[in-house]
A and B are shown apart, each in its own frame.
Chain A
Amino acid sequence: MDLVQLQRQLVEYRTSLYHEGFLDEQYTQLQELQDENNPDFVVEVVSLFFEDSERLLNELTKALEQQSIDFKRVDAHVHQLKGSSSSIGAQRVQKVCIAFRNYCEEQNVEGCLKCLQQVRHEYSLVKTKLESMFQLEQQILSAGGSIPM
């Protein structure tokens, strides 16, 4: 595939991610922070998000497996996940977190377990999509092109 095609493919892919609600305005702001002085900024922030999220998802799973669930603890983890997902623009993850926190407040175990499943699902979706997009970007850069905005 030639450079122009690759760039077109990237723009289309990125646009679809916004349309489908995987990414929002925040992600655009992240891209604006990336420049020659900070060329890997977006990948670095997103990698931090991946690490953070995976840790939090493990903590959530453990917390919800307990005999007597500490809902405050669960809520604290979801709160963090909500914060970091909204900061990078991972809108669908953020939305599930909002519902998740409501169930925590109600101390609704069923609801929490359902949300945990949902948030895992949304997280793995956005992770795959972001990784695909980064791969496309790498291909463009390796072909000597620049990333279209």
Chain B
Amino acid sequence: MVLGNDASSSSLSNKNLSVLVVDDDPLIRMLHDNYLKHFGLKPLVVENGKEAVDLFQLGTSFDLILMDKEMPIMNGVEATKALRDMGATSMIVGVTSRGSPSEMQAFMEAGLDFCFEKPLTFDMIDFILKELNVNDDDDTNN
């Protein structure tokens, strides 16, 4: 569930958003972590799909999950399916280096809201945050 009370999309409301980064590559984890901090967020960072699922099973929920596709133990497609099956309503954004249309389609069908090709850019994060804040507005404007 989205936590922000503020209906505007300023970076202040970003601070209330909970974010999870799921990627097996330490360089990408570091990069995405810093990207998100730059936008005023404090992401949690894990190494594979299973850790994300485990967190969810413990009762932690996130507004936004950045999900890599290729990971050991449990990959992004499996993890996304599992999270959706468990009732996760987080915005799940796939981030993948494999860009073929059919692969992205398969990833989307697992339950993603959006799918982007790596590398992540400021514009993509901007877009994602705007989408999140739009949902926020919908919830708070009765």
Q: What residues make up the interface of A, taking CB atoms closer than 8 Å to B?
A: 25-26, 29-30, 32-33, 38, 41, 44-45, 48-49, 52, 76, 79-80, 82-84, 86-88
Contact = CB atoms under 8 A, between A and B. Distances in A.
Given A29-B121, A79-B70, A87 B27 contact: yes
A87 B34 CA distance: 13
Contact of A82 (B26, B34, B97): B97
Interface string B20-52: 000001111011001100100000000000000
Interface of A is mostly: helix
A84 B30 contact: no
Interface of B: 25-28, 30-31, 34-35, 38, 70, 97-98, 118-119, 121-122
Given A29-B121, A29-B122, A83 B97 contact: yes
A52 B31 CA distance: 14
Nearest to B32: A87
Contacts of B27: 45, 48-49, 52, 84, 87-88
Given A52-B25, A79-B97, A83-B118, 19 more contacts: A26-B121, A33-B34, A33-B38, A38-B34, A45-B31, A45-B34, A48-B27, A76-B70, A79-B70, A79-B98, A80-B25, A83-B25, A83-B119, A84-B27, A84-B28, A86-B118, A87-B27, A87-B31, A87-B118
Nearest to B29: A48
Contacts of B122: 29, 32
B48 to A, nearest CB: 14
Contact of B25 (A29, A41, A44, A84): A84
26 contacts: A25-B121, A26-B119, A26-B121, A29-B122, A30-B31, A33-B34, A33-B35, A33-B38, A38-B34, A41-B34, A45-B30, A45-B31, A48-B30, A52-B27, A79-B70, A79-B98, A80-B25, A82-B97, A83-B119, A86-B118, A86-B119, A87-B27, A87-B28, A87-B31, A87-B118, A87-B119
A75 to B, nearest CB: 11
Contacts of A32: 38, 122
Contacts of A29: 121-122
Contacts of A45: 27, 30-31, 34
